[in-house]
Amino acid sequence: MTQLTVVTQASLPSIFIVRPEARTRMRDFFSSHIRNPNTRRAYMEAVRQFSAFCVELGILDLAQVEPIHVAAFVEAQLKLHSKPTVKQRLAALRMLFDWMVIGQVLPINPAHAVRGPKHSQRRGKTPVLQADEARTLIDSIDVTSLSGLRDRALKAVLCEFSDVHPHPTLPHPPKRTETRKQPMSEHHDTPKAHEPHALHEEHAKGPHDPKEINPKMASDIAFWSKEFGVTGDQLHEAIRSHGTHVEKIRAALHTHKGA
């Protein structure tokens, strides 16, 4: 069962207990708004350090806090802590001041315009097993039981799909290679010339069908026009009158020439 954590006045930072409305709003923020105990602990530490920093500057009330004070706190924190920690503490101040603005304790959020440090995790911190270490791990599994055989098979499959290959007798699965796109040239607007399709070359050498003429194919019209010794228009006229069968067209054109 989840226990409700109540923040007492003694645990609140000093600059947040000067005014009663700020003290009440602060208590509600950590008691009801932040539910995760780990987040509550981390945010409370961030607010405590910010409050101590403000006291050193002579700031005793929230109304005196300006964006420049928050920015100076971030710079001071970067000298003592890592970037992820400083980003978390700045996020805590932003959320708390937003809570104060919503409760009409402050007119604006002084931490809203302050930018935190840039940080990106490019490489993971999870250790990767070497091939001999993976082999030792798999060999240590008890295979006298069904569950042991299952676990051994699962771990072997996981190693096969990773860069670790614990079985020296088995071939290593080929790695997938990514194909990179060729960089676009400065003359990319110029259309590229394409080679004609092989099917078009066959049509240029012979008819599509030796018994039927396809009037929609330019290669068929060109071939049979040359074969019958007529123009393309004459061949189309013959097709409209007698159909597409080669022998019928041949007979019709022969009759027409004889007449």
Winning range, highest mean pLDDT, from 17-21, 47-51, 150-154, 211-215:
47-51
- For 239, the token pair is 């097709």
Distances (CA, A) of 133 to 138, 139, 150, 154, 235: 9, 10, 20, 16, 80
Boundary-marking domain end, from 86, 102, 118: 102
Count the domains in the chain: 3
For residue 5, pLDDT beyond 50 = no
Q: Tell me how far apart the alpha carbons of residues 247 and 225 are, in angstroms, rounded to a whole number.
A: 14
Residue 75: which pLDDT band, with cuts at 50, 70 and 90? very high
Contact 238, 253 (CB under 8 A): yes
Contact 125, 102 (CB under 8 A): no
Identify which has the larger pLDDT, 11 or 30: 30
Please tell me whether residues 47 and 91 are part of one structural domain: yes
Q: Which of 21, 70, 81, 75 is nearest to 47 (CA)?
A: 70
User: What pLDDT, on a 0 to 100 scale, did the predictor assign at position 199?
Assistant: 44
pLDDT in tens, 221-250: 888 888 888 888 888 888 888 888 888 888
Q: Tell me how far apart the alpha carbons of residues 225 and 233 are, in angstroms, rounded to a whole number.
A: 9
Distances (CA, A) of 105 to 15, 55, 60, 108, 218: 13, 19, 15, 9, 83
H or E element: which one contains 21? helix 20-28
Averaged pLDDT for residues 93-101? 91
Averaged pLDDT for residues 16-37? 86
Please tell me whether residues 139 and 98 are part of one structural domain: no
Structural domain range at position 232: 199-258
Q: Tell me how far apart the alpha carbons of residues 252 and 156 are, in angstroms, rounded to a whole number.
A: 77
Identify which has the larger pLDDT, 212 or 167: 212
Please tell me whether residues 144 and 68 are part of one structural domain: no
pLDDT in tens, 142-188: 878 888 888 888 877 776 656 555 555 445 555 555 555 555 555 55
Please tell me whether residues 93 and 135 are part of one structural domain: no
Boundary-marking domain end, from 113, 142, 160: 160
Contact 115, 68 (CB under 8 A): no
| pTM as predicted | 0.45
Please tell me whether residues 135 and 210 are part of one structural domain: no
Q: Tell me how far apart the alpha carbons of residues 5 and 23 are, in angstroms, rounded to a whole number.
A: 16
Q: Which of 24-38, 87-101, 143-157 has the lowest mean pLDDT?
A: 143-157
